[in-house]
Amino acid sequence: MVLRDKALSNYYNLIAQIYDATRALPPYISEQVTNCILRLVNTTPETKFLEPGIGTGLNAIPIIKRGYSYTGVDISKQMMEEIRHKLQGIPDNLTLIQTDAASLPFENDFFDVVLTRHIIHLIPSWQQALSEIRRVLKPNGVYLHCQSKRTEHQTEFENQWLEILQNQPGFQPETYSASQQEVTQLLLQQGAKMEYVIAAQWQIAQTVGELLDIYQTKPHASCWYVPDDVFPKAMQSFRSWCQSHYKSLDVLLSSDAKFEILVVRDWGCV
């Protein structure tokens, strides 16, 4: 069973106003990432960007503010409304369209750069989404498949949460559509040349209690489809495990974070 588009849209609409609290990069890291992206794609004043799953504009806004042409699509209207609020309107170099990433309303060979972050693995028809990205990308264009992965302590937290969900009577957690390995394998089969780049590294420190508070807001995909009658019980079990494992909710957990980019070239349709 996979995440469904309508349910995904509904949930993003619900969490739009709190989304950045768990996804935003520190300003100096965001600057590093933006500089790395612009360097990787050798931007010119004519460079045209597309971001399927633009969300609240975490990746887009720093590039938009530098004047580049940017088009963003998303299935969630409320997520894109957050961009309007941040920019106090829509600048001339930004186009926002509410649509499905698996059915892009653009001509072939239209964009110089397509960028995604944390979205391909959530799309049920992810192969079609990649096919659409390839179609609208110029033959010499660049696709940037971006990720800021969970840190070591966040991964331990998530793994324990998933184990707790597996043990909830009568409930089977949702699974994702595609793994990173499956995406990479498909790109290789299609003849893409790929380069792995670490755009930025930094440290994240959070107390156990802060992490629990984050899960309470259901910001992660692993929380989205937990029924209302199951979620409180699962959270109570999670809190009990944290108390036992860490001994205190005030324990500070710290580990390194990375913003990773899979740079895909020579992949656009010819």
**247 φ, ψ (degrees, to nearest 5):** 75, -25
Question: What does the alpha-carbon distance between residue 145 and residue 148 come to, in Å, rounded to a whole number?
Answer: 11
- pLDDT tens digit string along 87-139? 999 999 999 999 999 999 999 999 999 999 988 988 888 999 999 999 999 99
More confident residue, 179 or 211: 211
Task: With respect to residue 230, please indicate whether it lies within any of the assigned structural domains.
Answer: no
- Within a domain: 125: yes
Q: How far apart are CA 146 and CA 187, in angstroms?
A: 14
Residue 203 has pLDDT above 90, yes or no: yes
Q: What distance in Å separates the CA atoms of residue 268 and residue 7, rounded to the nearest whole number?
A: 31
Q: Are 60 and 70 a contacting pair, CB within 8 Å?
A: yes
In a domain, 163, yes or no: no
Question: What confidence category does residue 144 fall into, taking pLDDT thresholds of 50, 70 and 90?
Answer: very high
Tell me what pLDDT residue 24 has: 82
Cα 186 from chain centre? 19
Average pLDDT, the chain: 91
pLDDT > 90: what percent of the chain? 77
Helices (H), 179-252: 180-189, 208-216, 221-224, 231-246
Dump strand ranges (E) for the chain: 48-52, 69-74, 94-98, 111-117, 137-148, 193-207, 252-265
For residue 251, tell me if it sits in a domain: no
Sequence-separated (6 or more) residues with CB below 8 Å from residue 8: 75, 122, 224
* CATH number of domain containing 84: 3.40.50.150
Residue 170 lies in a domain: no
**In a domain? residue 223:** no
Question: What is the structure's pLDDT at 176?
Answer: 61
Domain that holds residue 143: 5-149+176-202+257-265
Number of structural domains found in the chain: 1
pLDDT at 175 over 80: no
Task: Flag whether 132 is in a domain.
Answer: yes
Q: 141: how many CB neighbours lie within 10 A of its CB?
A: 25
Which pairing describes strands 111-117 and 137-148: parallel, antiparallel, or unpaired? Answer: parallel
pLDDT at 270: 56
Mean pLDDT across the stretch 170-183?
79
Please indicate, yes or no, if residue 87 is contained in any of the structural domains.
yes
Confidence of residue 2 (pLDDT cuts 50, 70, 90): very low
CA distances from 201 to 28, 57, 106, 117, 137 (A): 11, 21, 35, 16, 29
Closest residue by Cα to residue 199 from 144, 152, 147, 261: 261
Q: Give the pair of three-digit tokens for residue 261.
A: 């980019």
Q: What is the pLDDT of residue 184?
A: 94
Looking at this protein, which amino acid is placed at residue 114? V
Rounded CA-CA distance 79/252 in Å is: 31
Query: Does residue 254 sit in helix, strand or coil?
Result: strand
Q: Supply φ then ψ for residue 208, to 5 degrees.
A: -60, -40
- Residue that has been written with the tokens 């969490």 in this structure: 15
pLDDT at 227 exceeding the cut of 70: yes
pTM over 0.95: no
Instruction: Report residue 3's pLDDT band, with 50, 70 and 90 as the boundaries.
Output: very low
